[in-house]
Copies of this chain bind each other. A is one copy, B any other.
Amino acid sequence: MGELTIKDIAKACGVGVSTVSRAINNHPDINPETRKKIMDIIAEKGFTPNNSARNLKRTETNSIALLVKGISNPFFADMIRIMEDYVLRKRYTTLLRHVGNDDDEVAVAQTIVTEQKVKGIVFLGGTFTHDQAALDQLNAKYVFSTIGNLNENATEDKKVANIAVDDIQASCKAVEYLIEQGHRNIALIAEGLNRPSIGQLRGQGYKKALLEHGIPIRPELIYEIKTTDDPYSMENGYKAAFKLLTAHPEITAIFSISDVLAFGACRAIFDLGKKIPEDVSVVGYDGIEQGDYYNPRLTTVRQPVEEMARVTIEHLFEMIEENVDPKDIIMPAELQVKASSGKAKV
C-alpha cells in the first residue's frame, strides 16, 4: 500500500524535505549529486508526489486545460491531439477533461482553475451562451472554439475569445449547392433551432438559402431533434430521416447539421430501399474523417480542424504570455462535394 510522502523520502535520503522538493521540481539551487541520489531512491521506492498538496501550495502551474463537452464527438479527437502537441512544445502540461452534456462547463472550469491553477482553458464544444459573471470570476485566460459565432450579438466590451467558422454562411452555401443541383424539396435535420446554438445558426443558413432562391420554407421538411443527452447521434439521424422520408417521399435531398446525424440518415435511406445520391442526396457538416470512409463518401461542410486547433491554442498563449485582448476569429469552412450528393432526379 504505497502511501509514501516526501518526508519518508527525505528520511531515507538523510536530507530535508525541501531538498527533496527541489529535486523533484528541477529547482536550480541543488547539488546535482544530491538530486541524483534522491531521484534514484524515489525511483526505487516508487514515490509519486501528491498533486493535491502541490496545487494547494502552488500559485501557478504552466498548465492549460482542455474542456471537451460531449464525450463521443469524433470531431474533437484531432483537435485535441494538435493542441496537446503545441502545449507540450511550449513546455506546458495539458489537462484534458470531458464534461457531460448536462454539466456546466464554466463551473467545471472554475474548479479546475482554483484546484489545478491552470493558466488557460480551451472550451471545445458545448453551449453557446454562458454566464458572463461566472466567466469573469475565472482567474485564467480562456478561449471558446468550434462552438459558433458567440459574439454575433455581443457588445464590443463583452467580447470573448472565440474561434469558429461562419456557420450561417457555410450552411447557406451547402444548401445553395443542393439547389443548384436542381433540388427543391430539401429537408433539414437539426437541433436546438429555438435557442442560441450552432444548430440554430446552421438552421438559419438553410432557411437563408431557400429564401434567397425563392423556395418556400416548409416546416414539415424540418426535423428538430429534441433529446437532451447527445442529440448528435446516428440513431437520431436515422429516426429523423426515416420520419421525414416516410411522410414526404418527394424529398430529394437532406441537409444534416452534423456528419454523425448524416450517417444515421443514410442508413434510413438505404433501409427505405432508396439510393444515395440517385434518389436522395445527403450533405453533412463537420468534415470528420469517417465521412471519407463511408460508402458513399459523404458530402460535407468541412471545418478546418487542424487550422482551428492551431489558431485556438496560439491565441490562448498570446493572451497568457502577451496579455493580448480576446479576439473573435472566424475561419472559412469549405463545402466538400463527394459521392453522397448529386443532381436531383427529374
Contacts and interface: CB of A to CB of B under 8 A. Distances in A.
Interface string A162-206: 000000000000000000000000000000000000000000000
Interface in A76-91: 77, 80
A316 interface: no
Given A72-B77, A270-B295, A3 B50 contact: no
A227 to B, nearest CB: 14
Contact of A293 (B137, B266, B296): B266
Contacts of A63: none
B111 A48 contact: yes
A1 B136 CA distance: 7
Interface SS of A by simple majority = helix
Interface string A284-309: 00000110111110000000000000
Interface stretch (A51-59, A218-226, A248-256): A51-59
Given A1-B137, A3-B139, A295-B266, A56 B46 contact: no
A333 to B, nearest CB: 22
Contacts of A72: 74, 77
Interface of A: 1-3, 46, 48, 50-53, 55-56, 71-72, 74, 77, 80, 96, 98, 107, 110-111, 114-116, 133-134, 137-139, 234-235, 238, 263-264, 266-267, 270, 289-290, 292-296
28 contacts: A1-B137, A1-B139, A2-B110, A2-B114, A2-B138, A3-B114, A46-B110, A46-B133, A46-B134, A48-B111, A48-B114, A50-B56, A50-B114, A52-B52, A52-B53, A52-B56, A71-B80, A72-B74, A96-B98, A98-B98, A234-B289, A263-B290, A267-B293, A270-B295, A294-B294, A294-B295, A295-B295, A295-B296
